[in-house]
Amino acid sequence: MFAKTFGVASLLALSLAVPALAQEVNIYTTREPGLIQPILDAFTAETGVTVNTVFLENGLIERVQAEGESSPADILMTVDFGALIDLVNAGVTQPVQSDVLEEAIPAALRDADGNWFALSGRARVVYAAKDLALDSITYEQLADEEWKGRLCIRSGQHPYNTAMFAAYMAKHGEEASKTWLEGIKANQARAAAGGDRDGARDIAAGICDIAVANSYYYGLMTSGAGGEEQKAWADEVKVILPTFEGGGTLVNVSGAAVAAHAPNRDEAVQLLEYLASEEAQKLYAEANFEHPVNASADVHPIIGEIGELNVDSMALTEILPFRQRASELVDEVNFDTFEN
């Protein structure tokens, strides 16, 4: 009926007049979009696929569950490995089988069933006053009385710290972990709060001598990406790669998963494959000063100058079961309450 009414020529003209649907992919992310925007812009420039980001500081799982099958989310991106597992356990992801991803990302840094993929690594390091006679330290020594009133750290409930605390518990047990947390609390120079860059700021101000932070923040400050004020903070500190006794440095990962009801699944997989590519991993290193998960990509020179990273051998999956109890211990010792 349609063809009889309009004719073949009319149909052809009509089809040519209707523009093709624009390709897009939607990311729900708990990491600041600005940190990865240069990489997303490069992806769009190369593929023509528009990337839309929604930043959710909290409530990512709840948002996706509430939206249900009508959710526009294609990719779910987090700043913490534990949060990736939470997505899978909540049933808001779907498996992806991709030879590209499997070749680029080591097996230990992706889900065996393809439900999540690590995209970058961040070492949990120690910032120290530049003139401090300190060249090495273990995570265990952060609780030593030597540092009483001299240590700065962000909230104990932040994922960066709960991951570190859970790793400690996996190695030393619950009782020793509680004692260790009490020791770190006693060593605080001010309330456990703020961000990792604030540790460098407070060292520069003479409030503390050491601070616990992620490695990439040092790169952001040193490069001037955070402005001249933050560059001045970085000039006052040196970075030490701590290790666990008998082990290595804790490295957490950011990563992503394809949403269970992704309306643009093909584009989502395409973006994940791009993010794992040598090109994008190089951009990660240049833009965010993070450690690439793709072994073909080099770390940024600023991060490389910190020293050779000896990653702790304990798998992230071994740490995960202790995360909840570590979080509970933070509250039990009133970690974030400052007491002179």
- Residues at the binding site are 216-217
Say if CB 236 and CB 209 are below 8 A apart. no
Q: Among 229, 231, 172, 184, which residue's Cα sits nearest to residue 210?
A: 184
Query: Which residues, 6+ apart, have CB-to-CB distance to 326 below 8 Å?
Result: 162, 165, 166, 168, 169, 177
Give the integer Cα–Cα distance in Å for 277 and 172.
Answer: 37
Q: Among 32, 31, 49, which residue's Cα sits nearest to residue 40?
A: 49
Query: Which residues, 6+ apart, have CB-to-CB distance to 147 below 8 Å?
Result: 141, 187, 209, 210
Binding residues for Fe cation: 216-217
Query: Which residues, 6+ apart, have CB-to-CB distance to 132 below 8 Å?
Result: 209, 210, 238
Say if CB 152 and CB 208 are below 8 A apart. yes
Q: Give me 10's structure tokens.
A: 């009319």
Neighbours of 126 (CB within 10 A): 23
Say if CB 126 and CB 184 are below 8 A apart. no
The SS3 assignment for 120 reads strand
Say if CB 61 and CB 87 are below 8 A apart. yes
Instruction: Give the angle subtended at the CA of 106 by the CAs of 101 and 111, to the nearest 5°.
Output: 70
Give the integer Cα–Cα distance in Å for 148 and 106.
Answer: 40
